Amino acid sequence: MKNERIYKMAFASVYPHYITKAEKKGRTKEEVDTIICWLTGYTQDQLQQTIENKTTFEDFFAQVPQLNPNVSKITGVICGYRVEDIEEPLMQKIRYMDKLVDELAKGKAMEKILRK
């Protein structure tokens, strides 16, 4: 499985890159956390715990309290793939998160990122 390497990566190893990407564009760590918690249903404490435990992406999404019911509204291209067309469920969830952070870094309003 070609995506196995990504699935076994610690979420904590990618998380700082999300923060850096957002901060370079004038956004904040708090906004990144808000997006991740919106998508996954994690509380801020649960999110911090997954980071401290160096939880893999596979386990990170396996332990999600509740994926946001509006994830189907996340559409568009990330890393050359349309997120709505990704067939592998775990990869699609990872790309949803990538897409949301990308939208934040591009200056999109939080209300629109959170599909309100």
- 112 within domain boundaries: no
DSSP H helix total and E strand total for the chain: 7, 2
47 found inside a domain: yes
In a domain, 115, yes or no: no
Residue 1 above 70 pLDDT? no
Mean pLDDT of 48-57: 97
Asked if the model's pLDDT at residue 21 lies above 60, the reply is: yes
CATH number at residue 34: 1.10.8.290
Distances from the Cα of 72 to the Cα of 35, 68, 92, 114, angstroms: 15, 9, 11, 12
Domain of 37, in residue numbers:
4-107
Q: How many CB atoms lie within 10 A of CB 7?
A: 17
Average pLDDT, rounded, for the chain = 95
The total of structural domains in the chain comes to 1
Query: Distance (Å, rounded) from C-alpha 52 to C-alpha 108?
Result: 29
**Does residue 76 lie in a domain region?**
yes
- 25-51: pLDDT as tens digits: 999 999 999 999 999 999 999 999 999
